[in-house]
Chain A
Amino acid sequence: MTSLPPDPTPGVPVPALIVTHGRLGEALAGAAQAITGPLEGLLTMSNEGLSRDQLVALVAERVAAFGPRGGLVFADVLGGSCAQAALAAAAGRAPGPVRVLCGVNLAMVLDYLHNRTRLEPAALADHVLARGRQAVQLLEAKTVEPGSTT
């Protein structure tokens, strides 16, 4: 396994924003907090009630606060307004590199929280994406023959 490049500013969490429909982002952050503890540096926002332009402006504002180091934006539906706004903000006036990860799930948020102080943003994005994909599985109970002792 190839080792990932370490964060040049170890110990400082890479900032992130979860932008979703409804309260999904808030719920994901809440579930993650219940598992890992405090979540400083992780923001959430909903697209509820926002026009396209308003959503892009608000995401851009939060992404600008990431600073020159950059950070991650998690979005929910591929092609949805949140993902579009995240991409537009990342490509716009962001002061640092911003990686947009779509299809956010709890495994991705947890992986981000576990690794955000040891990996720089690009490597962290790759790591989180891999973990998120790995977490989506069809689970099947093993068939056990009646009377089997194994």
Chain B
Amino acid sequence: MSVALVRVDDRLLHGQVLIAWGNALDVERYLVVDDALAASAFERTLVESCGGSVPVEIVGLAEGAGRLLALEPRPETVIVLVRGLPQALALVRAVRAAGGRLEQVNLGGAHHAAGKERVHDYVYVDAADRSALAALHELGVRVSVQDVPAATPFDAPASWGARVA
């Protein structure tokens, strides 16, 4: 197994991921694909230190697909993290443009923020999120909603996504 989970989580690497998913999947590497984090030396250091004995790599969206594809053939188990649905869509498109496959995304945390509307306990969306979700569905990507491994996953319904004119 290589890329075991591609997760949308606005907290990126945090307790739920490190403890619940990390243990459940026996993760051996985290790949955080996020422009803001990659651009801040302090934030990078902070997040890199979170993995403990598990390496944490942080790259921007432009490098994310290439790094994901480079990790894919390796035997280690990797969790990939992006901040939101638009970033997940960008990653899927980049991976596919590079000839790779990315068929499923885990939607694990999209918390409340100004302009976002609640569609589930831990999923709030705005127009950009809805648009990205609709595009992911159109690309045939399964968006599985599940915050922790012990929770029952379900597919994000089409009603959460809507094309923005």
Contacts from A to B (Cβ < 8 Å): 21, 49-55, 76-82, 84, 87-88, 91
Task: Count CB-based A-B contacts (< 8 Å).
Answer: 53
Count of residues in B whose CB is under 8 Å from the partner chain:
20
Q: Point out the residues of chain A lying under 8 angstroms from B112, CB to CB.
A: 49-51, 54
List 16 extra interface pairs beyond A79-B50, A79-B52, CB under 8 A. A21-B15, A50-B112, A51-B111, A52-B11, A52-B12, A53-B113, A79-B13, A79-B51, A80-B14, A80-B50, A81-B11, A82-B15, A84-B47, A84-B50, A87-B46, A88-B46
Contacts from B to A (Cβ < 8 Å): 10-15, 18-19, 42-43, 46-47, 49-52, 111-113, 122
CA distance A84 to B43 in the complex (A): 9
Docked-complex contact B14 and A49, CB < 8 angstroms: no
CA distance A91 to B11 in the complex (A): 19
Determine which of B14, B47, B111 lies in contact with A54 in the assembled complex, contact meaning CB atoms within 8 Å. B111
CA distance A55 to B50 in the complex (A): 17
B45 to chain A, nearest CB (A): 10
Q: Point out the residues of chain A lying under 8 angstroms from B111, CB to CB.
A: 49-51, 54
CA distance A119 to B50 in the complex (A): 30
CA distance A53 to B12 in the complex (A): 11
